[in-house]
Amino acid sequence: MDIALLQQTARRMVAPGRGVLAADESHPTIGKRFAALGIEASEENRRVYRQMFFQSPGIEEFISGVILFDETIRQCDDQGTAFAQLLASKDIIAGIKVDRGAKPLAGHPGETVTEGLDGLRDRLTEYFQLGARFAKWRAVISIGDGMPSRASVETDAHALARYAALCQEASIVPIVEPEVLMDGNHDIDTCESVTTDVLQRTFSHLAAQGVMLDGIVLKPSMVIHGTGAAAATIDEVAERTLRCLQRTVPAAVPGIAFLSGGQSDEDATAHLDAMNRRGPHPWNLTFSYGRALQAHAMQTWGGAPEAIETGSQAFLKRARCNSAATRGAWESSMEQATA
Ligand code: 13P
């Protein structure tokens, strides 16, 4: 375990002005998003699509790291350079999704536990050789009738902590991602109490496994209303999320990189911006968005070779807006500006 490398990687990932692009969709997930736009889900289309992001001119100004999928970390750009090397040449850190997905939790209908611990030590060794310096593991917590159960919160927190300890042993920074889903009719109060509990239990398990907190990045969902409930204001989401984090996340954690979780592109940016306007905080607050960085670019590209450049511009616009939000310097007028 290279402690200095872990600390340095974690700090670089969350340095103000930059954030993480989550481009680690599993085959079924990206397949669904492609299908909705009539794009064929071939390996080559996935490669070309992701290359569009990695080769976007000036991406390194806004993006500190990219989360790759197993297929992607083994792929090369059109010139034959491995994606991980291409990113490293731009001072962007390659990361890798290592969980094997959320599977039904026995005895708890509607709930899941994230799998992937078996054989993880060997996979991490290979990923380090392929250039990965951070990893991601996503636990999924649902809010609903009787949910989340104790069993769901505890098993996911335990697995996250075992994953994090294995990553650090391999000198790979773990992104610890406990996502409380927005799906449901619950109000923001319920989301706040569930998220507070989930983060408390997660940090308790991290401590029990001896995880070094200055060598992780936390990737939480924001405290927000359910998709079927009345919308909370931008300020309310920002204030509730900050209160929840202040109550649960030790100051040793260098940074918190939020997921977007189905929020609109502009909401995800506005929430991050509103939180950073209320700083300084003990940790840097940045983004690790998937959909909120990619959705518009994917639509613009639509699988057409001649639309690579406009797709790339659509991505850079979102990346620029989110970069400004890490400094609390985003203005809604930036949304009108052409890419
Ligand atoms: P979203 O920003 O689309 O929620 O994706 C982030 C992610 O990595 C989910 O695991």
Pocket test for ligand 1, best of 99, 259, 267, 298 (most atoms within 8 A of CB): 259
Handedness of CA 111, 113, 114, 118 (dihedral sign): negative
pLDDT at 248 over 90: yes
**Is it true that domain 3-334 has CATH number 3.20.20.70?**
yes
Closest of 87, 70, 73 to residue 26, by C-alpha: 70
Work out the average pLDDT over 67-77: 98
Work out the average pLDDT over 269-283: 97
pLDDT at 339 over 70: no
Q: What confidence score (pLDDT) does residue 87 get?
A: 98
Return the C-alpha torsion angle 7, 9, 11, 16, nearest 10: 180
Ligand 1 atom index nearest CA of 177:
10
Average pLDDT of the chain, as a whole number: 97
Q: What confidence score (pLDDT) does residue 336 get?
A: 85
3-state secondary structure the chain: CCHHHHHHHHHHHCCCCCEEEECCCCHHHHHHHHHHCCCCCCHHHHHHHHHHHHCCCCHHHCEEEEEECHHHHCCECCCCCEHHHHHHHCCCEEEEECCCCEEECCCCCCCEEECCCCCHHHHHHHHHHCCCCEEEEEEEECCECCECCHHHHHHHHHHHHHHHHHHHHCCCEEEEEEEECCCCCCCHHHHHHHHHHHHHHHHHHHHHCCCCHHHCEECCCCCCCCCCCCCCCHHHHHHHHHHHHHHHCCCCCCEEEECCCCCCHHHHHHHHHHHHHCCCCCCEEEEEECHHHHHHHHHHHCCCHHHHHHHHHHHHHHHHHHHHHCCCCCCCHHHHCCC
Catalytic site residue from 177, 179, 192, 317 = 177
Minimum CA distance residue for ligand 1 atom 5: 290
Say how many Å lie between the CA of residue 82 and the centre of ligand 1: 24
**Domain-by-domain residue ranges, the chain?**
3-334
- Say if ligand 1 is within 6 A of residue 290 CB: yes
**In the beta sheet, which residues pair with residue 136?**
97, 175
| Cβ pair 75, 44 in contact under 8 A | no
3-state secondary structure 26-41: CHHHHHHHHHHCCCCC
- Say if ligand 1 is within 6 A of residue 259 CB: yes
Q: Tell me: the pLDDT tens digits for 161-208? A: 999 999 999 999 999 999 999 999 999 999 999 999 999 999 999 999
Q: Tell me: the pLDDT tens digits for 6-27? A: 999 999 999 999 999 999 999 9
Q: What confidence score (pLDDT) does residue 338 get?
A: 63
Output the pTM of the full model: 0.97
